Amino acid sequence: MALFDAWKKLKDGLSKTRDSLFGKVAQLVNSKSSIDADFLEKLEEILISADVGAGTTQTIIESIKKRVKQEGYESSGELTHLLKDELARVLQATGDAAPGALLLPEGPRPFVVMVVGVNGAGKTTTIGKLAYNYREAGYSVVVGAADTFRAAANEQLEIWAKRAGVEIIQQAHGADPGAVAFDAVSSAMAKKAEVVIIDTAGRLHTKTNLMEELKKIRRVLEKRLPGAPHEVLLVLDASTGQNALQQVKHFTEAVQVTGLVLTKLDGTAKGGIVLAISHDMQTPVKFVGVGEQIDDLQVFDRAAFVDALFEGTEIAT
């Protein structure tokens, strides 16, 4: 996808968050001329209401306070520049996933990606988009339908595989998900495919037996191909709010999550959760979903994200 289109989708996808967050910030700036204690208290409320999270908000407010004092900012109009800076700083905390191209890291093939998350987070859709992106980047891809729990899961992944132009490995509904994962990797090895993406059934992070099943799928992958899975992506619905942090914690304990995908950013005014996750969690956000179409998945680019959040607002810098 052309870079310009990607930028437009990100910008449009973040419009609800931007309108809610900066609509309120602009109002605040217009209603008060100086950055005083009352101003900062109101700013704090705005950030919390956008799901930026209590700890993250505290960090941002403290830092703004310090800079106002040290660097002598007085007028509320200057806040814009400070805020953008501070949001960018929070996002940098989890390091940078190379923005732009979707390239596999060096190493053995196939590169095995296991995709996990709670029910309806957007796993299967993300797999469709991811498979498409990898194929567009020139890789051969196999997807494994290891959600054998939900009746229509196979059909749904099949539709996505067809759209993405990649191969799908599946078994009957109710089959052992570990067996499907095993087959998918075996098939990719036999055909010398470069990427395998394993779909799994949605599950609540608090259900012990279901988390055990997920661990088992991971063990099967490891056994079939030592070193696999090379990536474990946890898919989070951006509108879930602070519960996303609990999901990261529990799924990481169970299957060693290596990256996060934040979906449905386009449908929520609570995109501030990206900041809470970057501030509180060690695991980087690697992709964001900004729509339901096949080209609506983007590599998470921190700088572009902050730019998109400020784009077109009165306070753009």
Interface contacts to ligand GTP, rule CB under 6 A: 117, 119-125, 147, 150, 153, 202, 235, 263-264, 266-267, 289-292, 296
Token digits of residue 259: 């990256």
Collapse the DSSP code of 78 into the 3-class scheme (helix H, G, I; strand E, B; otherwise coil) and give the result. Answer: helix
Residue 165 binds which of Mg ion, ligand GTP, none (CB < 5-8 A, kind-dependent): none
Helix runs in the chain, H state only: 3-13, 15-31, 37-49, 54-71, 79-92, 123-136, 153-164, 177-191, 208-224, 243-255, 273-280, 302-310
Shortest Cβ 42–ligand GTP spacing (Å): 31
Q: How far apart are CA 45 and CA 57, in angstroms?
A: 9
DSSP 283: S
Residue 278, burial from CB neighbour count under 10 angstroms (0-12, 13-18, 19+): buried
Residue 289 binds which of ligand GTP, Mg ion, none (CB < 5-8 A, kind-dependent): ligand GTP
Interior angle at CA 116, CA 253 and CA 133, nearest 5: 130
Residue 51 binds which of Mg ion, ligand GTP, none (CB < 5-8 A, kind-dependent): none
Residue 86 binds which of Mg ion, ligand GTP, none (CB < 5-8 A, kind-dependent): none
Shortest Cβ 232–Mg ion spacing (Å): 16
Tell me the residue nearest to ligand GTP as measured from the CB: 202
* Residue among 76 and 126 whose Cβ is closer to Mg ion: 126
Residue 47, burial from CB neighbour count under 10 angstroms (0-12, 13-18, 19+): buried
Number of alpha carbons in the 13 Å side-chain half-sphere of residue 255: 34
* Residue among 39 and 300 whose Cβ is closer to ligand GTP: 300
* Residue among 123 and 302 whose Cβ is closer to Mg ion: 123
Residue 99 binds which of Mg ion, ligand GTP, none (CB < 5-8 A, kind-dependent): none
Shortest Cβ 121–ligand GTP spacing (Å): 4
Q: How far apart are the first and last CA of the chain?
A: 27
* Residue among 150 and 207 whose Cβ is closer to ligand GTP: 150
Shortest Cβ 190–ligand GTP spacing (Å): 27
Shortest Cβ 288–ligand GTP spacing (Å): 8
Q: How far apart are CA 3 and CA 295, in angstroms?
A: 12
* Residue among 267 and 284 whose Cβ is closer to ligand GTP: 267
Residues that bind Mg ion (CB under 5 A): 123-124
Residue 252 binds which of ligand GTP, Mg ion, none (CB < 5-8 A, kind-dependent): none
Strand partners, 289: 297
Shortest Cβ 153–Mg ion spacing (Å): 6
* Residue among 64 and 142 whose Cβ is closer to Mg ion: 142
Residue 145 binds which of Mg ion, ligand GTP, none (CB < 5-8 A, kind-dependent): none
* Residue among 39 and 287 whose Cβ is closer to ligand GTP: 287
Shortest Cβ 277–Mg ion spacing (Å): 22
Q: How far apart are CA 120 and CA 202, in angstroms?
A: 7
Residue 272 binds which of Mg ion, ligand GTP, none (CB < 5-8 A, kind-dependent): none
| Contacts of 207 by beta carbon, 8 Å cutoff, 6+ apart | none
Q: How far apart are CA 57 and CA 60, in angstroms?
A: 5
Q: Please give the single-letter amino acid code of residue 229.
A: P
* Residue among 128 and 229 whose Cβ is closer to ligand GTP: 128
Tell me the residue nearest to Mg ion as measured from the CB: 124
